[in-house]
Chain A
């Protein structure tokens, strides 16, 4: 029982440790502005992680989320800036397209990894066609929202907590969230109870699309200009964030709060490594090492739990 609690607390512990280490290495980060600066890029990563989590909930994997976020940032910096209604229409159709991909994957029983890997090039291609080189402009309201100065508590922290709580409520506590997680746990049982697996998958993919769009817009608000390749790393960040947060690849076991915390941990780990003056060439490797350590810890805890 204690071990189960320990496993659930692990994402939060990891975050606390990385945060403490950052404060130790660079005490000046322990301030309103320090935290604001360090965590602002965690918001789009957290949104992309939540998008990934919806797909993982139904036992699929989305390898296209990074380029998708990039595409959204390009649309946001061009269409949405020049012609807001057309831009919104374009973003909405992207969400519908995501749902259609879910329908295709389910109806043809295709491996999601293959389909989304292919799609990642499609998204990147469209993005490059819209914006061949970085440029465009973020709509003012987006910029204003993302650089909003909250009193006392930095905005990124509030945003991350809000995202985590809303999704936690929807997926873990609402009656429809149960259906979504059940679809990952035992699809057969779900369809035997009269639910449509097709509709469930479409809904989850569309939610992933919605959060992908939000992530792209949040990122655009921070960078203020569009770039097709700005979020290529997000694919792996988002998967790592979900797993770091206590989720599992199959079986409908996910934790929205954990996923957001996982995303924060990854973003912080990046800053931490910069403060350690580790060259950017080694940063991905070092982040991977952090990931492996946390997952190894979790495996140890789970192993002990099964042994009893």
Chain B
């Protein structure tokens, strides 16, 4: 039997890591299946997480990672198979209330905080024990202490309303909340793309904390598209593909290339193409604000990177260009949102409508929208962007996150805009999709489109002709393609902090 062998494989490891911890503090999945209608998202997954282990989980979009995570966190009940945790085996009746009481927590990629509540009140939501007289103070202390422990110097007040926090800080609050303990043990924390909105410093703080927490016996499942993160933080890595586990080995046995190979897409080296032809006329020029900094300029056919620590003025710059405030913009622009949920997709609309909404003016015929032309346009871009759907009339939410993002790219690229503004659009997008989009950006830039691209992933700057480094608002460094290295970017981002 498979389950037995997987126990045998993992038990010695558990002894060696935490000899005093012999309790069955693991979660064990046996033959877990999940189907949505005809689609089988999980096709029999066996998974064991030992106490104090950090398990890396990787896979393409649609590999079943999210489904597996939703099953683990009790949001979806499996169609078949069993889940064993804390000495109890669940065949059915595995739900969010049970996972809470069993100490299984999950940090979802699309955050699960209530925006109308304060940080402390959000802590109360996951802790039934925080009640009675003085609960607010206890909740505030609980979350403040955890934030201090994980992200020293976080600058978040427990009385801050979530809606008033930047997305990076919201993510920090949610991560800290998942690690808080009141009554009952904390067994397993599932982190889904936890660093997607964090800057380099806070991401490093989190990875260091993962080490600390696992040493205390808590298990962690880490899902991330940043393979460096997975390789350095995990003890063991499970690779998923088509709803199955295709590899399960110690992290040390993987390299970046072997990991990508296991996921089923070829590892392409990030190399810059041939030196590009001389760029065209200036389309965007932004003079620095009175508080200093360098000017920004973008020419026709250029790919411009905006970098630096997350939330240091890059998005503000994009909005300035988009709205033409204090910026000289000589062509139409389109905006690709990074925060899909809040300013990207129209939740109730079809995929097609989501793609064509930026081009409706061009699709008019006699004052009305030419529906046939609209359908044609969305079909063309569905093909071009390889959006994985059978029908563009389906609701946008039927797509996986990566494919939703492709639809947002299609919306901008299908339009007449010559300038494409991108607000960290690759947040939580899988490698395969990224490669396809990178190629598309190259091709469109060759055709004369200008891209202004805010990215939190330094790797992505290799696609840029020039990058501007932001720090505390203004541009502090301008790096041409030849000087664009990780060291230079970090140096510019941190120069002041070192002093």
Interface residues of A (CB under 8 A from B): 173, 175-176, 178-179, 181-182, 184-186, 188-195, 251-253
B116 near A193 with CB under 8 A, answer no
Task: Select one of B112, B117, B124 contacting A192, CB under 8 A.
Answer: B112
Q: Which residues of chain A are near B98, meaning CB under 8 Å?
A: 194
Q: Which residues of chain A are near B135, meaning CB under 8 Å?
A: 175
Task: Select one of A173, A184, A193 contacting B125, CB under 8 A.
Answer: A193
Task: Select one of B101, B106, B125 contacting A178, CB under 8 A.
Answer: B125
Least Cβ–Cβ distance between A190 and chain B, in angstroms:
6
Against A, the Cβ 8 Å flags (1 = close, 0 = not) of B135-150 are: 1100000000000000
Query: Measured between alpha carbons, how far is A12 from B166 in the docked complex, in Å?
Result: 30
Jot down 28 A-B pairs with beta carbons below 8 A, ordered by A: A173-B136, A175-B124, A175-B130, A175-B132, A176-B131, A178-B117, A181-B114, A182-B116, A182-B121, A182-B122, A185-B114, A188-B112, A190-B125, A191-B96, A192-B75, A192-B96, A192-B106, A193-B112, A193-B125, A194-B95, A194-B99, A194-B100, A194-B126, A194-B128, A251-B116, A252-B114, A252-B116, A253-B116
Query: Measured between alpha carbons, how far is A191 from B106 in the docked complex, in Å?
Result: 13
- CB closest residue in chain B, given A173: B136
Interface residues of B (CB under 8 A from A): 73-75, 95-101, 106, 108, 112-117, 121-122, 124-126, 128, 130-132, 135-136
Query: Measured between alpha carbons, how far is A176 from B98 in the docked complex, in Å?
Result: 20
Closest A-B pairs by Cβ, 8 of them: A185-B114, A189-B112, A185-B116, A194-B100, A194-B97, A175-B131, A182-B114, A186-B114
- CB closest residue in chain B, given A188: B112
B108 near A192 with CB under 8 A, answer yes
- New A-B contacts (10) at CB < 8 Å, excluding given A176-B131, A182-B122, A252-B117: A175-B130, A175-B135, A178-B125, A182-B125, A185-B114, A193-B96, A193-B126, A194-B99, A194-B128, A252-B116
B114 near A190 with CB under 8 A, answer yes
B100 near A193 with CB under 8 A, answer yes
Query: Measured between alpha carbons, how far is A251 from B115 in the docked complex, in Å?
Result: 8
A179 near B125 with CB under 8 A, answer yes
B121 near A178 with CB under 8 A, answer yes
The residue in B99, B114, B124 that gathers the most chain A C-beta atoms within 10 A of its C-beta is B114
Least Cβ–Cβ distance between A302 and chain B, in angstroms:
12
Q: Which residues of chain B are near A193, meaning CB under 8 Å?
A: 96, 100, 112, 125-126
Least Cβ–Cβ distance between A34 and chain B, in angstroms:
39
Q: Which residues of chain A are near B74, meaning CB under 8 Å?
A: 194
Least Cβ–Cβ distance between A305 and chain B, in angstroms:
10
Query: Measured between alpha carbons, how far is A193 from B132 in the docked complex, in Å?
Result: 19
Q: Which residues of chain A are near B117, meaning CB under 8 Å?
A: 178, 181-182, 185, 252
- CB closest residue in chain B, given A195: B125
Least Cβ–Cβ distance between B175 and chain A, in angstroms:
14
Q: Which residues of chain B are near A190, meaning CB under 8 Å?
A: 114, 125
The residue in A178, A179, A184 that gathers the most chain B C-beta atoms within 10 A of its C-beta is A178
Least Cβ–Cβ distance between B113 and chain A, in angstroms:
6
Query: Measured between alpha carbons, how far is A176 from B136 in the docked complex, in Å?
Result: 12
B106 near A185 with CB under 8 A, answer no
Q: Which residues of chain B are near A251, meaning CB under 8 Å?
A: 115-116
Query: Measured between alpha carbons, how far is A178 from B73 in the docked complex, in Å?
Result: 22
Least Cβ–Cβ distance between B285 and chain A, in angstroms:
24
Q: Which residues of chain B are near A188, meaning CB under 8 Å?
A: 112
The residue in A185, A191, A195 that gathers the most chain B C-beta atoms within 10 A of its C-beta is A185
- CB closest residue in chain A, given B162: A185
Q: Which residues of chain B are near A192, meaning CB under 8 Å?
A: 73, 75, 96, 106, 108, 112
Q: Which residues of chain A are near B128, meaning CB under 8 Å?
A: 194
Q: Which residues of chain B are near A189, meaning CB under 8 Å?
A: 112-114, 125
Least Cβ–Cβ distance between A191 and chain B, in angstroms:
6
- CB closest residue in chain A, given B100: A194
Query: Measured between alpha carbons, how far is A120 from B379 in the docked complex, in Å?
Result: 47
Least Cβ–Cβ distance between A58 and chain B, in angstroms:
12
- CB closest residue in chain A, given B131: A175
